[in-house]
Structure 1
């Protein structure tokens, strides 16, 4: 979605300019960009922990086990493991035969300060439209960042 234009209304020689749609768009897109950077950070910090696990060392695709998604409509971040990879809910939460590894939850809790910094960096840009637009990456949804691993 492109940046909405300002709405101009002329009435009785007075011009009224409304930028409400632009502001809503900017806040929404800054929130999404902040969540995507948060997902990128958490994934990068999860991988070293996961690589130390015995089953992950034997995995054919260890780097693709974790992914993140930022849903456009709900504007939320989902971090998880791909279907049919070594690391799944049984590894994260534990089962009768598997210990609780908590790589996703543990990494998130350990990095709350960094997550707050990322969120603050993006959301403080609301006041400066040019800074906000430079932080927004329009077509990015999420992924597994194989290029940076």
Structure 2
């Protein structure tokens, strides 16, 4: 989606109406998408810290293959976090099985960081009060892990 024109001028009966609705909607969507990306990155980093605290070493695929996906082709972007398909045992560690106990690290990480996610989103959406918010570069479906 390209950046729409910032101002649309409509003339009726000698009166000029100026509308910037399209640009404002684009800006809001891009700020939401950028906030979700930062929330996903924070989540993955905190999950890895909790995972490696339990298992004491950086071995295995669950911590390594934790990722987040921002789906921005919808009307309202959303964030998905999870374990990529390369980490087969991640689901068993999260939910438990007949032979392993339930760890619940993903759910615990999300619950422990709700206030941090709210702060990140408030910081980005607070940019709407500025005259010209700095909108990040356009990226389609952003898929990323976090910093290693």
TM-score where L is the length of structure 1: 0.84
Distance in structure 1 (CA, Å) of the matches to 2:88 and 2:72 = 28
Q: Tell me which moved more, 7-16 or 69-78.
A: 7-16
SS of equivalent to 2:50: helix
Deviation digits for residues 40-73 of structure 1 (CA, Å, limit 9, x no counterpart) = 00111111222244497442x5653200000012
Distance in structure 1 (CA, Å) of the matches to 2:89 and 2:145 = 14
Give me the CA root mean square deviation.
2.2
Matching of residues 98-117 of structure 1 within 5 Å = 98-117=100-119
Deviation digits for residues 60-105 of structure 1 (CA, Å, limit 9, x no counterpart) = x565320000001231100000103155222111111121111111
SS of equivalent to 1:8: strand
Matching of residues 83-122 of structure 1 within 5 Å = 83-85=85-87, 87-122=89-124
Distance in structure 1 (CA, Å) of the matches to 2:41 and 2:18 = 38
Matching of residues 1-149 of structure 1 within 5 Å = 1-5=1-5, 6-54=7-55, 57-59=58-60, 61=61, 64-74=64-74, 75-85=77-87, 87-131=89-133, 134-139=134-139, 141-145=142-146, 148-149=147-148
Distance in structure 1 (CA, Å) of the matches to 2:145 and 2:9 = 43
Distance in structure 1 (CA, Å) of the matches to 2:89 and 2:44 = 13
TM-score where L is the length of structure 2: 0.85
Q: Tell me which moved more, 39-48 or 136-145.
A: 136-145
Higher helix content, 1 or 2: 1
